Amino acid sequence: MIPLSDTPQRRSSPAITILIIIINVLVYFYSFGKPPGFYDVFIMKYGVIPFEITTGIDIPPLINYPVYITLITSLFIHGGFSHIFGNMLFLWIFGDNVEDVLGKIKYLLIYFVGGIGASLCQVAISPSSKIPLVGASGAISAVMGAYIVLLPLSSINVIVPFFFFPLLVQIPALIFIFFWFLTQLFNAALGIPGVGWWAHIGGFLTGLILAIMLRGGRKKPRDYDVFYPDRW
């Protein structure tokens, strides 16, 4: 399933979500717009390397900051067009309304604390790995965890492949995110390489817990949490 949009109607401009997307796109073009070999050095310097985080030792190529700064810098680095496109699509769909509900400061807290928690979860699984972790998916997973707490009655408009014809379908956000989370657990359990599955899981759980803590006394969904079947 490929998500296209969600149903809740914003009451304010998602300035922080837009800013994060712009920064990610600028870093992407910067890292891939350099001579051959630059990107490999770039991700080794600014990606999260579990060995560096667990030992505090910076392995070459070196950076001029403590290695723990990579827990932030790695959130803005991507491995290719499909990587950044998928992440920014999910961020736009889920992030704008989380920002709208929580406000910009709490939203930033969920995004960055969730992103750091995601990386640390992956580090805990493979503490001696020297393979860099990059991408905003851990932080976006945290936003998705917050989404189901704050907007439980919303729905997601998705494309479902059906033989040679794509179907446009609207499904509850809880179902979409539930199956997404099961996919992360399944792939993590199988140990499928190439993706930080445990980072996704850790980020999601961090965002979910933070949203419960930050939502204050709000117990009932707001008016715009409900389904809008005719909105695309």
Q: What is the pLDDT of residues 161-170, one digit of tens each?
A: 877 788 889 9
- Least confident span in 36-40, 107-111, 177-181: 36-40
Q: Residue ranges per domain, the chain?
A: 2-225
Distances from the Cα of 51 to the Cα of 112, 115, 132, 188, angstroms = 21, 18, 9, 20
- Where does the pLDDT of residue 7 fall: very low under 50, low under 70, confident under 90, or very high at 90 and above? confident
What does the pLDDT read at residue 69?
Answer: 97
Under a CB-based contact definition with an 8 Å cutoff, are residues 116 and 203 in contact? Answer: no
pLDDT(230) > 50:
no
The architecture CATH gives domain 2-225: Up-down Bundle (1.20)
For 71-97, the DSSP string reads HHHGGG--SSHHHHHHHHHHHHHHHHH
Question: Strand locations in the chain, DSSP E?
Answer: 2-6, 155-162, 165-172
- Where does the pLDDT of residue 231 fall: very low under 50, low under 70, confident under 90, or very high at 90 and above? very low
- Where does the pLDDT of residue 229 fall: very low under 50, low under 70, confident under 90, or very high at 90 and above? very low
What does the pLDDT read at residue 154?
Answer: 93
- Tokens describing residue 45: 């310097």
- Tokens describing residue 43: 């991700």
Q: What is the pTM of this model?
A: 0.90
- Where does the pLDDT of residue 210 fall: very low under 50, low under 70, confident under 90, or very high at 90 and above? very high
For 15, what's the count of Cα atoms within 13 Å in the CB-facing half-sphere?
5
pLDDT per residue over 179-192, tens digit each? Answer: 999 999 999 999 88
pLDDT per residue over 60-106, tens digit each? Answer: 999 999 999 999 999 999 999 999 999 999 999 999 999 999 999 99
pLDDT(226) > 50:
no
What does the pLDDT read at residue 74?
Answer: 97
What does the pLDDT read at residue 10?
Answer: 83
51: closest CA among 133, 112, 116? Answer: 133
For 111, what's the count of Cα atoms within 13 Å in the CB-facing half-sphere?
24
Mean pLDDT across 97-117: 96
Omega before 161 cis (within 30°)?
A: no
Under a CB-based contact definition with an 8 Å cutoff, are residues 9 and 224 in contact? Answer: yes
What does the pLDDT read at residue 191?
Answer: 86
Residues 21, 147: Cα–Cα separation, whole Å: 18
pLDDT per residue over 119-134, tens digit each? Answer: 999 999 999 999 999 9
Angle ∠(31,1,100) on CA atoms, nearest 5: 70
Q: Decide which of 217 and 11 is more confident.
A: 11
Using a pLDDT cut of 90, give the percent of the chain over it: 77
Q: Is 2 helix (H, G, I), strand (E, B) or coil?
A: strand
- Where does the pLDDT of residue 221 fall: very low under 50, low under 70, confident under 90, or very high at 90 and above? very low
